[in-house]
Amino acid sequence: MHVVNVLSFLLITSCLCDGRRERGNRADNDLGLKMKTHYKSKSMFRMYTHGKDIEDACTVELFQAHTLQTCHFNSSHPLVIIIHGWSVDGMIESWVTRLADALKSTQKDINILVSDWLTLAQQHYPIAAQNTRVVGQEIAWLLMWLEDLTQCPVSKAHLIGYSLGAHIAGFAGTNLAASGRILGRITGLDPAGPLFEGMSSTDRLSPDDARFVDAIHTFTQQHLGLSVGIHQPVAHYDFYPNGGSFQPGCHLHVQNLYAHLSQYGLLGFQQTLKCAHERAVHLFIDSLLNRDKQITAYKCRDNTAFNKGVCLDCRKNRCNTLGYDIKKVRTSTSKRLYLKTRSLMPYKLYHFQIRIQLSTRFEKIDPSLTIKLTGTLEESESLPITLVKELSGNKTYIFLITLDTDIGDLRMMHVAWEADPLWTNMWSKVKTIIPWSRKEVVPQMTIGRIRVKAGETQQRTQFCARTEDGVYIQPSEEKLFVRCDERREKPEHMRSHG
């Protein structure tokens, strides 16, 4: 039954997409005409005040100047407009207040408006998606009106849109551009995928919609061609936390997707996908509340390459800060940036690229290696190393590891070969039965050059074995490596380890 629902939805999507292409650029930008007539706005703009519920906030009415004074709008302060997405229950979601409160508490002097388009959003998804153009047009009128009336510049306005709200922000920017004005910034928080994936730049959020556009993609996992969040790049900088397909701690929601689609139809989306889809919002809130833990993301070809640890380069704007404090560098093409996060706030993880040279005389072995890093601040836990394939010959392996704490500048590294107890017992019996020498029987690896690059600091560290026999490692052994430039001087605390 759920397959029928999904296929029906795709059929509706196809029909609506055709219609959207025909209506692509039909926008009424005659602001003067709208101001001369009494225009009844289809959406509302609520002025956020700290400590008040959004539903009780003062309403700024389009083209009604007296409401600006009533709501204490300050034209000398920056303007941020928060735009929610599709609604099932017709209620403002709690994250809206959390985001507004985070903005207000950290930015102080700021105007925060919430675009309340619930009456248009609480519809079947395809209809709500169509309504995004209407809301985008009204936001554009609001911004032009504010600029003409109060000299509040459109070029400094920041629109933050979630899901369908991200495309609303894009349509607002498109309409402003048609009137010769350029919007300052748009942040798309997991922009919606259905009805927008694969569409032309005029029919979705795109880098052309503002002076600077950034987007965070947190749920782009596809099933039967359906993706809740849009996968394609739609901004100058597109961030894909944890690859963008799913988020840590949200796996159960993903597993229930099709069961809920079958039971609830399209309304099942909100019940199952809120965790991963909404993670983009909370990552942005995190960037405001934890300013000392700003998250760095790195330009990479795709998530597979990123997981190999080959993309921790910050030269020529190849990395950027996720969230509010992003470096606003316009690019000619969209840049895809990848990163890892924790499952809870604060989400920041520290990224390290490890290059380790391993060699063995055995044909093929699959060692279970772990490493432990010691820095100037603290020591990490033991971290498993996942080799792409079985070890043979002499090769250099590159991989990515992450830490959830800042351990400071790197000083030492422990490398351990974790042998399976059953395997160790077997080799012990073999050595007892067969009179071979220890060197001939036990598998042995040679650890060559070890280089580590810290993504956040861009520091490179080369490690050398502390002792001459430290380059050889056997099952159940652990070897110590120190910074090569400190190898000659053995610290007192290392002598105590013997």
Residues marked active site are found at: 163, 190, 277
Cα(482)–Cα(498) distance, integer angstroms: 15
Contact 486, 494 (CB under 8 A): no
What b/e readout covers 313-342, taking b as 16+ CB neighbours within 10 angstroms?
A: eeeeeebbbbbbebeeeeeeebbbbbbbbe
Output the CA torsion sign for 429, 434, 436, 437: positive
Pick from 320, 352, 387: nearest CA to 461? 352
Cβ neighbours around 11 below 10 Å, total = 10
- Number of H-type helices and E-type strands within the chain: 14, 20
DSSP 3-state of 408: coil
Contact 397, 424 (CB under 8 A): no
Cβ neighbours around 365 below 10 Å, total = 16
DSSP 3-state of 64: coil
DSSP letters, 309-327, are: T-----GGG-EEE-STT--
Cα(300)–Cα(311) distance, integer angstroms: 6
Beta strands in 184-233 (DSSP E): 185-189, 212-216
Alpha carbon 57 to its chain's center = 31
